[in-house]
Amino acid sequence: MSATKEQIVAFMAAEFPQTKCVVESVDDKGAVLSHDIGIDELRPGGTVSGPVLMSVADVAIYVAILGRIGIGPLTVTTSLTINFLRKPSSEARIIAECTLIKVGRTLIVGEVSLYSEGSSDMVAHVVGTYSVPPKRI
């Protein structure tokens, strides 16, 4: 019932054409995404915008869920908690590593560690919960 990386990339391109997230890898345990950082993602002072980090984490969990339960069900985010830990680099891509920590019948929980590419210091940490619609198609 899970989806392959190729299926997910095609689905995301069709349904969420506006996202700049790139799926680096995905399996039934989690996903790794990257996101370029440019003028659109930066705030005065060279800080990566907080909403960009939240958005990348949100998409990372969404992709990991597709990798686990397949493309049919349209899960929706029900809650998201982000802790901002360090100032990300303004010159490196953001890397989001998502692990699914619960895959229930109605609720899925994912955890995401966000990094500036090339650094092992986490810049932000996210926990997100997603609701699975009662009847899967």
Binding site for a second copy (CB under 8 A): 15-16, 43-44, 50-52, 54-55, 58, 76-86, 101-102, 105-107, 109, 111, 122, 125, 127, 129, 131, 134
Nearer to a second copy, 25 or 81 (CB): 81
Report how far residue 59's alpha carbon sits from residue 51's, in angstroms, rounded to the nearest whole number: 12
Determine how many CB atoms are found less than 10 A away from the CB of residue 12: 20
Report how far residue 120's alpha carbon sits from residue 66's, in angstroms, rounded to the nearest whole number: 27
Nearer to a second copy, 92 or 122 (CB): 122
Q: Pull the structure tokens for residue 26.
A: 């995905």
Distance in Å, CB of 68 to a second copy, minimum: 15
Residue 71 phi, psi (nearest 5): -85, -20
Nearer to a second copy, 43 or 118 (CB): 43
Distance in Å, CB of 43 to a second copy, minimum: 7
